[in-house]
Amino acid sequence: MPVVPTPTTLTEATAAIDDREVSHIRNDFPILAQQVNDNGLVYLDSGATSQNPLSVIEAEQEFYEQRNAAVHRGAHSLAVGATDVFEEAREAVARFIGARSNEVVWTANATEALNLLTYSFSNATAGRGSDDSRRFVVQPGDEIVVTEMEHHANLIPWQELAFRTGATLRYIPVDDDGALRMDEAAAVINEATKVVAFTHASNVLGCINPVEELIALAHARGAFAVLDGCQSVPHLPVDVKALDVDFLAFSGHKMLGPTGIGALYGKADLLNAMPPFLTGGSMITKVTMEGADYLPAPNRFEAGTQQISQAAALAVAVNYLQETGVKRIAAWEATLGRRLVEGLQQIEGVRVLGPGAGTERIGLAAFDIAGVHAHDVGQFLDDRGIAVRVGHHCAQPLHRRLGLIASTRASTYLYNTTADVDYFLEAMASVRSFFGARS
């Protein structure tokens, strides 16, 4: 049977999610039933990698058992079937973000998607591509704008592009609480700005940024707007057409899908004008010994053998999210996020990063505990079966701005219960006394 759902199955329920429904959802995730250090697993690290429902795991297995063949290359029945699954998966993921299928490029992850962009801009700067690609040329005098809260994946590629081209990298700063200084954004984004790249939701602060305002500022200056959707696409309704964003990057492993697959959304006219980054087979129309002509997007960016089974599994993950209801998931995570923040703020010596209780956030909270290193906190919680993230979360500049080297992060998803959060908070209440930290 096909592993990719048809559009008619993509309906959302309307009733609010509650703990009773989550207890049923958890049955779909076999990994959550295991014991860790003689305790039931409480998984609070979905901001790094989400877990997979059985249907997603089975989708990859089903592909290899029934459909394994190269796509876009063979005329035999197995290859045609594999190609159908591959392209139906693209259509499913495109619908999920409000895009057309020719606007979704498969990548290994969001990091590769963002590097694809920056290297394509480099190739345009080097004179590769058609006359249409000149709009992507970056040169001395141009400016690239990011924010001080960016994940390294949406910072370092732009740094490197600036180094390669002689452009200037600027950033929108954050205040002492980690909120973007939107009062400074209009000055940072100016006539010299070529690109504005920013996160939709911070993987450290949990805040949801004013995306529409930032996109409008970029477009008013004739700049491209690039959105890191790693922490938004899995957790919030995202419609690229409503946002009018030029490019969006996200990863499958953060949204119930397998590792090894992500996507770059780009407006069709932009993708078709961009020179390719990776070159080789399956992305060309004509090759001579002197040169090559390239296919339209998205194929021009998908050289070589693709992530076929992963794409099929990601489509099933997308179907799972839609059948559960993305708006419902967002509301449930907001409830869990508030519970996390309110509980942590009541514990002596705990500093929660980002917006406080009462401010919109995703279901994530990073924090510092006075007198206890984040790695010690993580080990203490792991001994009790609680999985959290520790370190700088690939956001060193943000941590430095907040006066920290590292923090501990708890992040939720649709399979977490209020009992998970309460068990975590109960353990947190005894961390400082366990390590003998002074008040």
Q: What is the pLDDT of residue 1?
A: 37
Q: What is the pLDDT of residue 8?
A: 32
From CA 54, how far away is CA 281, in angstroms rounded? 34
Residue 356: DSSP 8-state: -
Residue type, 200: H
Residues with catalytic annotation? 394
Q: What is the pLDDT of residue 3?
A: 42
Query: Tens digit of pLDDT for each residue in 199-240?
Result: 999 999 999 999 999 999 999 999 999 999 999 999 999 999
Strand partners, 408: 367, 390
Contacts of 63 (CB under 8 A, 6+ apart): 3, 82, 85, 308, 309, 312, 313
DSSP H stretches of helix in 264-373? 268-273, 308-324, 326-345
Mean pLDDT calculated for residue range 270-299:
95
N residues, the chain: 439
Residue 47, classified by CB atoms within 10 Å of its CB into exposed (0-12), middle (13-18) or buried (19+), is buried
Residue 45: DSSP 8-state: B
Question: Hey, where are the domains in the chain?
Answer: 77-321, 326-435
DSSP helix/strand/coil, 61: helix
Residue 194: DSSP 8-state: E
Mean pLDDT calculated for residue range 164-172:
98
Query: Tens digit of pLDDT for each residue in 47-104?
Result: 999 999 999 999 999 999 999 999 988 789 999 999 999 999 999 999 999 999 999 9
- Tell me the whole-structure pTM to 2 decimals: 0.95
CATH of domain 326-435: 3.90.1150.10
Is residue 378 within 8 Å of residue 361, measured between CB atoms? no
Q: What is the pLDDT of residue 13?
A: 57
Question: The domain at 77-321 falls in which architecture?
Answer: 3-Layer(aba) Sandwich (3.40)
Q: What is the pLDDT of residue 204?
A: 98
Pick the closest to residue 294 from 278, 276, 270 (CA basis): 276
Query: Tens digit of pLDDT for each residue in 2-25?
Result: 344 333 333 445 689 999 999 999
Is residue 37 within 8 Å of residue 382, measured between CB atoms? yes
